Amino acid sequence: MGEDIMNHLQLKEVIKESIREVLHEERLTLCESLIPYATKKELREIIQKYGSPNGYKKEEFVDMTDWIKK
């Protein structure tokens, strides 16, 4: 009986991890689909207008890592 419980718990953990992975992949796909496509010409115009991110000050950014993990 104890072995059945262990197998059940292991199976449950494998299923939970698989679901987490699928949800993570789907979330990334959703985020990707929400980012608008820009042509090379549009990208050049954006860089010309706003400059390269390499030139931005670190203080101008907001770290949203914790927001995404929730």
What is the average pLDDT across 25-50?
93
Does residue 1 surpass a pLDDT of 70?
no
Rounded Cα distance between 70 and 54, Å, is: 28
∠ CA(55), CA(58), CA(61), 5° rounding?
A: 105
In this prediction, residue 70 carries a pLDDT of 62
51: left (phi over 0), alpha (psi -120 to 50) or beta: left
Which is nearest to 18 in space by CA: 7, 10, 28, 6?
Answer: 10
The domains of the chain are located at 2-69
Percentage of the chain lying above the pLDDT 90 cut: 57
Q: Which residue has the higher pLDDT, 23 or 63?
A: 23
Q: Please state the pTM of the whole predicted model.
A: 0.50
The number of angstroms, rounded, from the C-alpha of 42 to the middle of its chain's C-alpha atoms is 24
Does residue 18 surpass a pLDDT of 90?
yes
| Average pLDDT for the chain | 89
